[in-house]
Amino acid sequence: MTQINPTVQYREDYQAPHYWIDTLDLDIQLHDSATQVVAISRVRRHGEHDEPLVLDGEQLTLLEVAVNGVAFNQYQQTEHSLILSQLPQECVLTIKTELNPSANTALEGLYKSGSAFCTQCEAQGFRRITYYLDRPDVLARFSTRITADATSCPYLLSNGNKVDAGVLDDGRHWVQWQDPFPKPAYLFALVAGDFDVLRDRFTTLSGRDVALEIFVDKGNLHRAHFAMQSLKAAMAWDEQRCQLEYDLDIYMIVAVDFFNMGAMENKGLNVFNSKFVLADDKTATDADYLDVERVIGHEYFHNWTGNRVTCRDWFQLSLKEGLTVFRDQEFSSDLGSRSVNRIQNVRMLRSLQFAEDAGPMAHPIRPDAVIEMNNFYTLTVYEKGAEVIRMLHTLVGESAFQRGLSLYLQRFDGQAATCEDFLATMSEASGRDLTRFSRWYSQSGTPVLKVRDHYDANHQRYSLTVSQVTPPTHDQSQKLALHIPLSVALYTEQGEPLTLTLQGHSVNPVLDVIEAEQEFIFDNVPSQPVPALLQSFSAPVKLDYPYSDQQLSLLTMHSIDEFVRWDAIQTLINNAVLANVAQRQGGALSSVPQSLLEVFTSTLQDSSLDPALAAEMLTLPTINSLLELFEQVDISVVGEAHAQLQQELATRLAPLWRQAYQQNQTPNYQVEHTDIAKRALKNVALGYLALAGEETHAQRQYQQADNMTDTLGAMKAAVHAKLACAGAMLADFEQKWQHDGLVLDNWFRLQATMEDGAAVARIDQLMAHPTFSLTNPNRVRAVIGAFANGNPLAFHAIDGSGYDKLVSVLVLLNTSNPQIAARLITPLIQFARLDDQRQSLIKARLQQLMDLPDLSGDLYEKIAKALA
């Protein structure tokens, strides 16, 4: 039986707090296992009532309580709260508590990352530091005094500005910080430790001189330069594109090795997973560099969208996350290739967010009911949330969008806002009615947009009939029509674009689909056109239009919108996989269709194409995303079809892969977009060459590489094609990088995704490696996460051994780090597309977890939904 008694919170039950806290002065005496915290707050009753003050607190030892300086005993303690009764209208409340950072393996609240102290408070970690109103609508001015051992912790950091410091005679020292901006507790941060510091400065548009400091582990200073460059680029971008300036005199970033997610936007003191800070040519791939740029940008952009204006309650999370992801996507697109960024985001959405929408955790971007808030930092809230903002941007245009954003930030500055507040401001600034659009916030699921067309040659008229259906999801059975921007273009059969007109007027290429079914008519269409639908992926929907191979080939070559070119190839590939699976199920084997060979050939021969775009066009969808094409399917058959397609493309186009490989060499490594693009295409070509059995290219590239992108490109190609040289490469790589966890994660990941009968045994070996530790989330993700998500054929082995492996790890993480456990369980609960046999294997394992005596709320919420 499960011990937990999970409580569900509902969005509709929101109530303003009974008390406000205007200031909080923290005095923190850091000790490894007995840290003492004195929290002095000014508390003010909100309205007339006799309700007690209920403070949140977890895993704290209460030492003292005083009101206005006098010891106070009108309180009650529960496992999760401190309840104070009969407080005066206004008072100064002093609470002294003790906690144990060394024992904190959940990495929430105050914990040790190696020898440094650090904090993670979002969403509800502050209650593990002191008793407090730990909710985002309570904003206070914080001051923080930190005292610690001067030798082990020369740097003592917190939010805001450093206002005082001193040395004590017992070998300890202290620093006092003051944050002038009122903030909710989730934005609090503290770091104490010894670091190397990279320093720089930035002058804002209005002339404010800002000190920039990046703190990294000793010896890693040379790996922080790219992060600093990205930070300055982000600051400049926000000024140029959004007229937003930084507001404090200092901006600090600390890189730590033990971190549950990517990074955290604490006011003035971001704490980062070192994976998103450290980068140099020898250790980081091109993709790693771009991730650093993106995450540094994301956290910086939160300073306005998240910190200056925060969320009223956690159900509104997408208010800050969807908007900030949109902002980081725009930042990456303005700095690099817009089309490639768009394609990569769509790939992620289709392979992961669509699966979330189709699974037991389906929820709207603004959820209605939550047990464990950490379970809702999802692809839906973040990525689909960003798509919703992007649709808004498409509907109102850049200038109205920027006006709306400014108005929203001015109006709600220093406050906690809601998604409705944001939409109302956007509507006011743009003059658009967003009533129907607002349903995107309350409805879950992936809409299917069905488009059928008719060409009337007599009247030279072309009509599109568009209908929308959102299939029912686990959380909602009834669905309403949404406001969907559908961006279209028409091409002649020669590939010439046509101007869209109706009755002599040109028609906006973004059609407003608002009804369940609608017709759009264009005139002056000289011949049957080929429609390019959903340009730039104008809405997060599944498109249903009966494209012929011929139409798809035409779009691949002629569409002005590059996303459509890529998507047309994806559809050709999907069709080939569908046909192949159907024939396998019927016993026969089909080979790769001629149309697909032809578009691959023309893509490889098109020298005007951006190589990064070509690389995307020539990369097959993952097996997991192909599952979305089926209602239910035997995943091993999809795997066979995928492998056959890849193998045939490799062998039949070998001379072209060789040519692409040779033409895209980049001597002298530079992190520069044209070079990144060439390396991307070169390494895609290398992967196919390896599959075609050519060993020399991979071998030579591995030996001669002067950068991690090429080293890994070669090793991946060799390992996935099972070339004889793969073993030696893996051994060499391990020997070279065994002391660097972040680099070795690539080695872990690659081996965890090797598909063969030995996969589970290999996971055991990797977990026994001296560098592996279940306490470090990066290592766990690199081995267990990569196996469960990136090795679907082994994970879904029909003997259940893959499921057993994951479950055995979840049992351990359930107690040590429930947040990570709940992240890792995702592939086990998304079983809807799998065959009945696998579904029942999975359900038995989920039941086994459900029966754990100490099951965490994090896992309970997901398993209960999956079994319901």
Residues that bind ligand B3K (CB under 6 A): 122-123, 261, 263-265, 298-299, 302, 321, 374, 377
Query: CB of 339: closest distance to ligand B3K in angstroms?
Result: 25
Query: CB of 253: closest distance to Zn ion in angstroms?
Result: 15
Q: Which is nearer to ligand B3K, 382 or 748 (CB)?
A: 382
Q: CA 27 to CA 855: how far, in whole Å?
A: 35
Which of 732, 819, 719 lies closest to 762 in space, CA to CA?
719
Query: CB of 326: closest distance to ligand B3K in angstroms?
Result: 13
Q: CA 717 to CA 713: how far, in whole Å?
A: 6
Alpha helices per DSSP H over 169-284 = 225-242
Q: Which is nearer to ligand B3K, 246 or 437 (CB)?
A: 246
| Edge-first strand listing for the sheet containing 161-167 | 70-71, 61-67, 90-99, 35-45, 19-29, 141-149, 172-178, 161-167
Q: CA 525 to CA 527: how far, in whole Å?
A: 6
| From the list Zn ion, ligand B3K, none, partner contacted by residue 122 (C-beta under 5 to 8 A by kind) | ligand B3K
Residue whose entry in the numeric block shows the structure tokens 């598909």 = 755
Q: Are 603 and 556 in contact (CB under 8 A)?
A: yes
Instruction: At 39, list the tokens.
Output: 């929290």
| Edge-first strand listing for the sheet containing 263-264 | 196-203, 209-216, 250-256, 269-273, 263-264
Q: Which is nearer to ligand B3K, 190 or 645 (CB)?
A: 190
Residues 324-343 that bind Zn ion (CB under 5 A): 324
> How does DSSP classify residue 412?
T
Angle between helices 635-652 and 594-605 (to 10 degrees): 50
Total residue length of the chain: 868
| From the list Zn ion, ligand B3K, none, partner contacted by residue 716 (C-beta under 5 to 8 A by kind) | none
Query: CB of 541: closest distance to ligand B3K in angstroms?
Result: 25
**Dihedrals φ, ψ of 635, to 5°?**
-60, -25
Query: CB of 779: closest distance to Zn ion in angstroms?
Result: 24
Residues 286-325 that bind Zn ion (CB under 5 A): 321, 324
SS3 105: coil
Query: CB of 302: closest distance to Zn ion in angstroms?
Result: 6
| From the list Zn ion, ligand B3K, none, partner contacted by residue 343 (C-beta under 5 to 8 A by kind) | none
**Dihedrals φ, ψ of 41, to 5°?**
-125, 150
Q: Between β-strands 70-71 and 109-113, what pairing exists: parallel, antiparallel or unpaired? A: unpaired
Q: C-alpha 286: how far from its chain's center?
A: 18
| From the list ligand B3K, Zn ion, none, partner contacted by residue 134 (C-beta under 5 to 8 A by kind) | none
SS3 429: helix
| From the list Zn ion, ligand B3K, none, partner contacted by residue 374 (C-beta under 5 to 8 A by kind) | ligand B3K
SS3 497: strand
| From the list ligand B3K, Zn ion, none, partner contacted by residue 745 (C-beta under 5 to 8 A by kind) | none
Q: Which is nearer to ligand B3K, 438 or 856 (CB)?
A: 856
SS3 35: strand
Q: Which is nearer to ligand B3K, 122 or 421 (CB)?
A: 122
Q: Which is nearer to ligand B3K, 264 or 623 (CB)?
A: 264
Query: CB of 376: closest distance to Zn ion in angstroms?
Result: 13
The neighbouring-strand residues paired with 53 are 84
Q: Which is nearer to ligand B3K, 107 or 612 (CB)?
A: 107
Q: CA 807 to CA 844: how far, in whole Å?
A: 11
| From the list Zn ion, ligand B3K, none, partner contacted by residue 697 (C-beta under 5 to 8 A by kind) | none
Question: In this structure, what is the dihedral angle of CA atoms 341, 346, 349, 351, given to the nearest 10 degrees?
Answer: -110
| From the list Zn ion, ligand B3K, none, partner contacted by residue 348 (C-beta under 5 to 8 A by kind) | none
Q: How many residues bind Zn ion (CB under 5 A)?
A: 2
| From the list ligand B3K, Zn ion, none, partner contacted by residue 387 (C-beta under 5 to 8 A by kind) | none
Q: Which is nearer to Zn ion, 220 or 324 (CB)?
A: 324
Which residue among 122, 299, 321, 372 is the active-site one? 299
Q: Are 679 and 710 in contact (CB under 8 A)?
A: yes
Query: CB of 263: closest distance to ligand B3K in angstroms?
Result: 6
Q: Which is nearer to ligand B3K, 123 or 198 (CB)?
A: 123
Q: Which is nearer to Zn ion, 321 or 861 (CB)?
A: 321
SS3 292: helix
SS3 83: strand
> ∠ CA 558-564-569 to the nearest 5 degrees?
85
Q: Which is nearer to ligand B3K, 41 or 310 (CB)?
A: 310
Query: CB of 297: closest distance to Zn ion in angstroms?
Result: 11
Q: Which is nearer to ligand B3K, 576 or 822 (CB)?
A: 822
| From the list Zn ion, ligand B3K, none, partner contacted by residue 661 (C-beta under 5 to 8 A by kind) | none
CB-based contacts of 249: which residues, under 8 Å, 6+ apart? 161, 208, 209, 210, 211
Q: CA 345 to CA 294: how far, in whole Å?
A: 12
Q: Which is nearer to Zn ion, 321 or 561 (CB)?
A: 321
| From the list ligand B3K, Zn ion, none, partner contacted by residue 123 (C-beta under 5 to 8 A by kind) | ligand B3K
Within 13 A of 29's CA, how many CA atoms are on the CB side? 11
Query: CB of 299: closest distance to ligand B3K in angstroms?
Result: 5
**Cβ of 180: how many Cβ atoms within 10 Å?**
15
**Dihedrals φ, ψ of 760, to 5°?**
-70, -40
**Dihedrals φ, ψ of 205, to 5°?**
-50, -40
Q: Are 642 and 634 in contact (CB under 8 A)?
A: no
The alpha carbon dihedral of 302, 305, 308, 309 has a sign of negative
**Dihedrals φ, ψ of 854, to 5°?**
-120, 40
Does residue 299 have an active-site annotation?
yes
| From the list Zn ion, ligand B3K, none, partner contacted by residue 730 (C-beta under 5 to 8 A by kind) | none
Query: CB of 741: closest distance to ligand B3K in angstroms?
Result: 21
Q: CA 868 to CA 865: how far, in whole Å?
A: 5
SS3 173: strand
Query: CB of 93: closest distance to ligand B3K in angstroms?
Result: 27
DSSP letter for each residue of 254-267? EEES--SSSEE--T
| From the list Zn ion, ligand B3K, none, partner contacted by residue 264 (C-beta under 5 to 8 A by kind) | ligand B3K
Instruction: At 619, list the tokens.
Output: 């990369």
Query: CB of 760: closest distance to ligand B3K in angstroms?
Result: 30
Tell me the one-letter amino acid at 862. Answer: K
Residues forming contacts to Zn ion in the complex (CB under 5 A) are 321, 324
Residues with a catalytic annotation lie at 299
